[in-house]
């Protein structure tokens, strides 16, 4: 058992005890999504305690990877708990900030919400790598909620250097903002009051609600309805805030399917200002009919004008348990053998068989010809740095920037929903991975931490690293004399975030490395869809259950890929295959219809907003034009969609996202990398989407892309029109997209020839096999106790959350609270 130290056991107990009274943290998890999440978690833990019955589980694999020795300390690492405490204490010492401890703060105080690492500027890092500068100073970024005013705002600061000394300072992090200011107006500061307000609205029409949708939403434990709505909020005029709300049925079982239970009744609020007495209900919507006041809605109900619609009620259909056999129409189950264990992968030779090295403290990894560092942030989760192949850096930085889930519908809540998920954060929801399911039992697991509301939370085993056999060869050739084959073994860095509340999906991020020198970024989604009530909205999705529409939406996830080919002086080559009609010296004057390769470079940022070409005829490569290979072709790495084809947002000029969507208009972007443009989006944009801290559109100012530090930004995702197969959950198998970054004239041959897991069998029709060459490969041998591949389910832990102010480094794990 790896995690049985005494403090850990103690903190787990505390987590359970505090769930009942957990207050809704304000900013790291704002809005009703979080309220729902806490409620559900509480139910879950009750069920767990009462339903505990041990069934058979295995032991899990005990192997740990050999230790790597990172050449540099990980300068991109997330803040340690001590560093977070240091930064928080420093900020509390600044009288001008007038901070209240987060644990005691209300929406009307100033308090620290998130602290994280401010990644060092690439310019400084490369100078350090080159031995021309000392190690870059380490800085934090801190988000502070300014609530003591009628016009509350939220602001990000640069703090450091850390550790804090007398020379450390704090300053608004304006240099990384395209509007020149890290200040964001906060129009949702009083979300908790909005929720209260909604309960009062609901109570004022309880008789109608009972009649139409049969339930209550009062904020109490006996509620069977929940109320929440659009995200982000609307501003019909710059000074006005409005939002649409709807009713959702709260499941009574353990299953989180609330987002499958929309009830089809909507109301609109004017939540302008901070005083609820100035708020108002602007209207109601039911059965596609709008009522411009509560009185008008009531009058229509009393007049018997409101139709009774099909009800959408909870049932076994929202559960994810085994439902077989033969739950569906048709013949006998084809899954007659599904109780038998499926094939499993094991590392031959157990621990000694592990073929990669990890420096756990520095999150540094070596696998075959690749080395890289792993970084992690609250906003966007996993991020890889300094990916080297055969010792040369090929990617400086690779990671998620933002994830949009943009809905549409004939109802205002679906129409008004366009989640910007970095606002909720990928770090807070990167829960422990289940060995044997999320990752093989023999995987290496790493922890991640994030720091929000002055609490440091560690998610144990939330990143995994493993090698696996892809199940198909990377190379094969045969004729009537010989067969030549090479195994396709890949290495994966994986984390999963279940973003948002108890409705949301698990988004799985894989960075997969292959023996041919390629890297694939893969995104997969599974989980409960956010659905719509089915009424006159066949143009916005399919009816998938009684009273239920699978509300159509786009998932659009932007990634940054800062590719460096033999230095930072790079160009974006465009090699396009075009149809031609040509005559040739040998064609006797006749024309021939054919095709040829056209070569050019993407000249400047003006041409840097790119769609994947029709019929995939354009190949795009980051090359170093000054570093041709021995045949004169520039060496480079190509970027091309893998699974799913790449994508961008279907909605143009989204009425929901305004100036916060400019990174989702195209499939791919190329810009000149600048220290002042490290991020294409910002987690705080969602507070005021019309005036984002970062508007990606401002990155494009026509600069040349030839032999400069080119950075690519690409979108992955899916157009998701849920069908009956999305019930109860969307499945990873169809909901996935990927991007391939692969060598292109980079080496002089396919590097997978340099793996020994290659076999050649020479044979003869008559004499049979004559020679077998195995090139020094070793083969698995001995016995494996397969019980090791069955995880110990009872070792699953969850997270550790530790309050950091006031901070007692002698007892770093005191005052544990649950925040998710």
Ligand X SMILES: *[C@@H]1O[C@H](CO)[C@@H](O)[C@H](O)[C@H]1NC(C)=O
Residues contributing to the site for Cu ion (CB under 5 A): 720
Q: Toward Cu ion, which CB reaches closer, 568 or 729?
A: 729
CA distance 560 to 714: 7
Should residue 272 be labelled a site residue for ligand X when binding is judged by CB under 6 A? Answer: yes
The three-state secondary structure class of 615 is helix
Least Cβ distance, residue 623 to ligand X (angstroms): 14
Give residues with Cβ within 8 angstroms of 741, minimum separation 6.
394, 395, 518, 519, 520, 521, 561, 563, 637, 638, 639
Exposed/middle/buried for residue 267 (C-beta within 10 Å: 0-12, 13-18, 19+) = buried
- Cα angle: 114, vertex 116, 120; to 5 degrees: 145
| Binding partner selected for residue 268 from Cu ion, ligand X, none, CB under the kind-specific 5 to 8 Å limit | none
Nearer to ligand X by C-beta: 224 or 369? 224
Closer residue to ligand X in complex, CB, 113/730: 730
148 touches which of Cu ion, ligand X, none (CB within 5 to 8 A by kind)? Answer: ligand X
**Residue 7 near which of ligand X, Cu ion, none (CB within 5-8 Å, type-dependent):** ligand X
Annotated catalytic, 421? yes
Q: What is the DSSP string of 18-51?
A: HGGG----SSSS-HHHHHHHHHHHHHHHHHHHHH
* Dihedral sign (CA 131, 80, 674, 373): positive
Provide, rounded to whole angstroms, the least separation between the CB of residue 809 and ligand X. Answer: 11
Count of residues that bind ligand X according to CB under 6 A: 60
Query: Does residue 175 interact with ligand X by CB under 6 A?
Result: yes
CA distance 565 to 588: 44
Q: Among residues 545 and 720, whose Cβ is nearest to Cu ion?
A: 720
Backbone angles phi, psi at 387, to 5 degrees: -75, 115
Which helix (DSSP H) or strand (DSSP E) does residue 194 occupy?
A: helix 191-204
| Residue 139 site contact among ligand X, Cu ion, none (CB < 5 to 8 Å, cut-off depends on kind) | ligand X
Q: Is 748 left (phi over 0), alpha (psi -120 to 50) or beta?
A: alpha
Give the containing element (helix H, strand E) for 90: helix 81-92
Q: Give yes or no for residue 270 binding ligand X (CB under 6 A).
A: yes
Distance between CA 33 and CA 101 in Å, rounded? 24
Strands 280-286 and 289-291: antiparallel
Find the farthest-apart pair of alpha carbons in the chain and give their distance in angstroms, rounded. 94
Write the interaction track for ligand X spanning residues 536-555; mark x where CB under 6 A is met and - where it is not: -----------------x--
- Provide, rounded to whole angstroms, the least separation between the CB of residue 590 and ligand X: 25
Residue from 130, 331, 337, 590 in contact with ligand X (CB under 6 A) = 331
- Taking the least distance from each CB to ligand X, the nearer of 110 and 752 is 110
Compute the Cα dihedral for 23, 28, 32, 36 and give only its sign: negative
Q: Which does 292 bind (CB under 5 to 8 A by kind): ligand X, Cu ion, none?
A: ligand X
Report which secondary-structure segment, H or E, holds 558.
Answer: strand 553-563
Q: Is 719 helix (H, G, I), strand (E, B) or coil?
A: strand
Of 673 and 720, CB closest to Cu ion:
720
State yes or no: residue 119 binds ligand X (CB under 6 A).
no
CB of 77 to ligand X, least distance (A): 16
272 DSSP 8-state letter = -
Residue 574 contact, options ligand X, Cu ion, none, Cβ 5-8 Å cut-off depending on partner type? ligand X
Is 180 near ligand X (CB under 6 A)? no
Nearer to ligand X, 273 or 798 (CB): 273
Q: Provide the total of helices (H) and of strands (E) in the chain, helices listed first.
A: 9, 36
Verify binding: residue 474, ligand X, rule CB under 6 A.
no
> Which 3 state secondary structure label does DSSP give 815?
coil
Number of neighbours of residue 167 by Cβ within 10 angstroms: 8
Q: Which of residues 22-61 bind ligand X (CB under 6 A)?
A: 59
718 forms beta bridges with 555
Site string for ligand X, 627-666 (x = CB under 6 A): ----------------------------------------
Q: Which of 187, 396, 442, 502 is catalytic?
A: 502
Considering the complex, what minimum distance in angstroms separates the CB of residue 757 from ligand X? 28
Residues in CB range of 321: below 8 A, 6 or more apart: none
Residue carrying structure tokens 């499945």: 731
Binding piece for ligand X, criterion CB under 6 A, among 94-102, 187-195, 340-348, 541-549: 94-102
> CB 389 → ligand X: shortest distance, Å?
25
Whether the Cβ atoms of residue 681 and residue 694 lie closer than 8 Å to each other: yes
Nearer to Cu ion, 33 or 720 (CB): 720
Distance CA 280, CA 294 (A): 10
Q: Among residues 500 and 751, whose Cβ is nearest to ligand X? A: 500
* Site pattern 278..317 for ligand X (x: CB under 6 A): x---x---------xx--x---------------------
Cα(131)–Cα(274) distance, rounded to whole angstroms? 54
Q: How far apart are CA 793 and CA 8, in angstroms?
A: 17
CB nearer ligand X, residue 692 or residue 728? 728
Question: 696, 681 in Cβ contact below 8 A?
Answer: yes
Nearest-angstrom CA–CA distance, 785 and 802: 39
String marking each residue 500-529 x if it binds ligand X according to CB under 6 A: ---xxx-------------------xxx-x
Of 203 and 296, CB closest to ligand X:
296
Distance of CA 562 to the CA centre of its chain: 19
- Of 103 and 645, nearer to Cu ion (C-beta) is 645
Alpha-carbon separation of residue 4 from 78, 606, 702 (angstroms): 24, 57, 57
Separation of alpha carbons 743 and 811, rounded Å: 50
Contact range with ligand X by CB under 6 A, out of 433-441, 443-451, 509-517, 810-818? 810-818
A 10 A CB-CB count for 19 gives: 18
Rule CB under 6 A: choose which of 71, 180, 236, 628 binds ligand X.
Answer: 236
* Binders in 554-593 for ligand X, by CB under 6 A: 574, 576, 578
Site string for ligand X, 432-471 (x = CB under 6 A): ----------------------------------------
CA-to-CA distance for 540 and 551, rounded, in angstroms?
A: 6
Quote the least distance from Cβ 386 to ligand X, whole Å.
Answer: 18
Cα 90 to Cα 87, 95, 106, 110, 168: the distances in Å are 5, 10, 21, 15, 9
Interface residue with ligand X among 43, 545, 679, 720 (CB under 6 A) is 720
Question: Which of 206/774 has CB closer to ligand X?
Answer: 206
Binding mask 599-618 for ligand X (x = CB under 6 A): -x-x----x--x-------x
**CA nearest to 788, candidates 232, 353, 432:** 353
DSSP 14: H
Does residue 103 interact with ligand X by CB under 6 A?
yes
Alpha-helical (H) ranges within 223-371 are 294-302
Given 813, 816, 818, 820, the residue binding ligand X (CB under 6 A): 813
Find the shortest distance in angstroms from Cβ 282 to ligand X. Answer: 6
Which residue in the list 231, 411, 421, 503 is annotated as catalytic? 421
Q: Nearest-CB residue to Cu ion?
A: 720
Is 286 assigned a catalytic role?
no
Among 21, 134, 332, 615, binds ligand X (CB under 6 A): 332
Q: Give the residue numbers marked as catalytic.
A: 421, 502
| Residues near ligand X (CB under 6 A) | 7, 59, 98, 100-101, 103-104, 109-110, 121, 139, 148, 165-166, 175, 214, 224, 236, 240, 270, 272-273, 278, 282, 292-293, 296, 331-332, 405, 503-505, 525-527, 529-530, 553, 574, 576, 578, 598, 600, 602, 607, 610, 618, 675-676, 720, 722, 730, 735, 785, 787, 805, 811, 813-814
């Amino acid at each position: 058992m790896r995690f049985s130290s005494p403090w850990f056991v103690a903190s787990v107990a505390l987590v359970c005890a505090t769930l009942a009274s957990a207050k809704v943290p304000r900013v790291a998890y704002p809005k009703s999504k979080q309220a729902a999440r806490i409620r559900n978690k509480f139910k879950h833990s009750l069920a767990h305690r009462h339903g505990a019955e041990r069934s058979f589980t295995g032991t899990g694999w005990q192997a740990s990877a050999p230790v790597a020795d990172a050449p540099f300390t990980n300068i991109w690492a997330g803040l340690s708990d001590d560093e977070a405490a240091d930064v928080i204490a420093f900020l509390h010492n600044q009288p001008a900030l007038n901070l209240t401890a987060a644990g005691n703060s209300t929406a009307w105080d100033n308090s620290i919400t998130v602290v994280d690492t401010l990644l060092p500027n690439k310019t400084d890092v490369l100078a350090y790598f080159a031995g021309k500068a000392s190690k870059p100073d380490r800085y934090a970024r801190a988000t502070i909620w300014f609530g003591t005013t009628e016009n509350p705002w939220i602001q990000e600061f640069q703090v450091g250097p850390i550790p804090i000394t007398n020379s450390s300072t704090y300053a608004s992090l304006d240099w990384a903002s395209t509007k020149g200011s890290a200040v964001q107006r906060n129009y949702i500061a009083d979300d908790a009051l909005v929720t209260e307000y909604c309960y009062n609205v609901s109570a004022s029409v309880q008789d109608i609600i009972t009649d139409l949708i049969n339930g209550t939403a009062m904020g109490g434990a006996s509620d069977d309805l929940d109320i929440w709505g659009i995200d982000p909020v609307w501003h019909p005029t710059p000074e006005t805030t409005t939002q649409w709300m709807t009713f959702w049925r709260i499941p009574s079982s353990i299953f989180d399917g609330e987002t499958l239970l929309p009830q089809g009744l909507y109301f609109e609020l004017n939540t302008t200002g901070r005083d609820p007495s100035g708020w108002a209900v602007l209207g109601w919507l039911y059965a596609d009919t709008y009522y411009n006041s509560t009185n008008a809605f009531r009058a229509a109900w009393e007049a018997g004008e409101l139709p009774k619609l099909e009800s959408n009620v909870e049932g076994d259909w929202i559960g994810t348990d085994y439902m077989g056999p033969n739950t569906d129409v048709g013949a006998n189950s084809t899954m007659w053998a599904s109780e038998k264990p499926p094939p499993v992968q094991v590392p031959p030779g157990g621990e000694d068989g592990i073929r990669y090295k990890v420096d756990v403290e520095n999150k540094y990894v070596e696998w075959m010809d690749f080395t890289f560092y792993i970084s992690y942030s609250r906003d966007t989760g996993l991020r890889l740095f300094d990916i080297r192949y055969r010792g040369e850096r090929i990617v400086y930085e690779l990671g998620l920037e933002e994830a949009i889930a943009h809905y549409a519908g004939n109802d205002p809540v679906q129409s008004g929903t366009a989640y910007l998920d970095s606002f909720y954060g990928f770090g807070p929801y990167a829960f422990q991975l289940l060995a044997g399911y999320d990752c093989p039992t023999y995987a290496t697991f790493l922890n991640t931490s994030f720091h929000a509301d002055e609490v440091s939370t560690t998610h144990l085993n939330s990143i995994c690293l493993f090698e696996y056999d892809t199940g198909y060869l990377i190379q094969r050739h045969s004729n009537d004399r010989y067969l030549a084959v090479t195994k396709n073994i890949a290495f994966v860095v994986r984390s999963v975030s279940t973003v948002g509340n108890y409705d949301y999906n698990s988004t799985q991020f894989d960075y997969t490395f292959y023996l041919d020198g390629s890297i694939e970024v893969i995104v997969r989604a599974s989980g409960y869809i956010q659905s719509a009530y089915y009424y006159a909205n066949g143009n916005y999705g399919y009816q998938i259950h009684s009273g239920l529409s699978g509300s159509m939406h786009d998932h659009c996830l932007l990634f940054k890929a800062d590719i460096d080919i033999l230095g930072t002086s790079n160009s974006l080559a465009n090699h396009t295959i075009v149809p031609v009609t040509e005559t040739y010296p040998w064609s006797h004057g006749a024309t021939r219809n054919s095709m040829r390769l056209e070569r050019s470079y993407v000249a400047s940022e003006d041409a840097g907003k790119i769609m994947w070409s029709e019929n995939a005829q354009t190949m795009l490569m980051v090359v170093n034009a000054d570093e041709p290979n021995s045949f004169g072709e520039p060496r480079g790495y190509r970027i091309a969609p893998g699974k799913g084809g790449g994508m961008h947002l279907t909605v143009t000029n989204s009425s929901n996202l305004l100036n916060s969507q400019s990174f989702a208009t195209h499939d791919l972007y190329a810009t000149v990398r600048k220290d002042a443009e490290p991020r294409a989006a910002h987690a705080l944009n969602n507070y005021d989407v019309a005036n984002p801290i970062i508007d990606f559109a401002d990155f494009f100012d026509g600069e040349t892309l030839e032999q400069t530090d080119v950075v690519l930004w690409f979108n992955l995702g899916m157009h998701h029109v849920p069908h009956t197969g999305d019930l109860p959950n969307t499945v990873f198998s169809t909901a996935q997209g990927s991007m391939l970054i692969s060598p292109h004239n980079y080496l002089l041959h396919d590097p997978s020839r340099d793996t020994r897991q290659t076999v050649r069998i020479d044979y003869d029709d008559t004499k049979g096999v004559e020679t077998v060459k195995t090139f020094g490969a070793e083969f698995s041998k001995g016995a494996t106790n397969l019980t090791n591949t069955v995880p110990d389910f009872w070792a699953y832990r969850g997270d550790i959350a530790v309050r950091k102010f006031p901070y007692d480094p002698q007892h770093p794990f005191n005052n544990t609270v649950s925040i998710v």
